[in-house]
Amino acid sequence: MLIEHQFVEPEHHRRAFEELSKKWQEAFAACRDLPARPSQTTIDAWVIMAWGGRRYCVTVQLAAPQTAAWLSEFETMICSRLGQ
């Protein structure tokens, strides 16, 4: 990851982000039981936090319990935002 900028151009990162964000939007759109559907802006922020956080966990080589704690907090944050 530390040298990927030498091989991957910014437009490829952008495309990957847009495709991932689109999949998250589709997933939330399929959740008919949510009190309110999150906005595209909210979903984009979550994608950035999840993607960036996961990449950082790999970079710093967190122990499995630390990664699990991060995932749990991230899940709690999203569920709280969704009102669940």
Residue pLDDT, tens place only, 16-64: 899 999 999 999 999 999 988 999 999 999 999 999 898 888 889 999 9
Query: What is the distance of C-alpha 77 from the center of its chain?
Result: 12
Q: Does residue 55 form part of some domain?
A: yes
Quote the pLDDT of residue 24: 95
Domain tally for the chain?
1
Q: Does residue 71 form part of some domain?
A: yes
Q: Does residue 58 form part of some domain?
A: yes
Contact 30, 84 (CB under 8 A): no
Q: Does residue 1 form part of some domain?
A: no
Q: Does residue 3 form part of some domain?
A: no
On the CB side of 24, CA atoms within 13 Å amount to: 21
Q: Does residue 56 form part of some domain?
A: yes
30-39 pLDDT per residue, tens? 999 998 899 9
pTM of the model: 0.81
Q: Which domain holds residue 31?
A: 9-82
Q: Does residue 63 form part of some domain?
A: yes
Quote the pLDDT of residue 1: 59
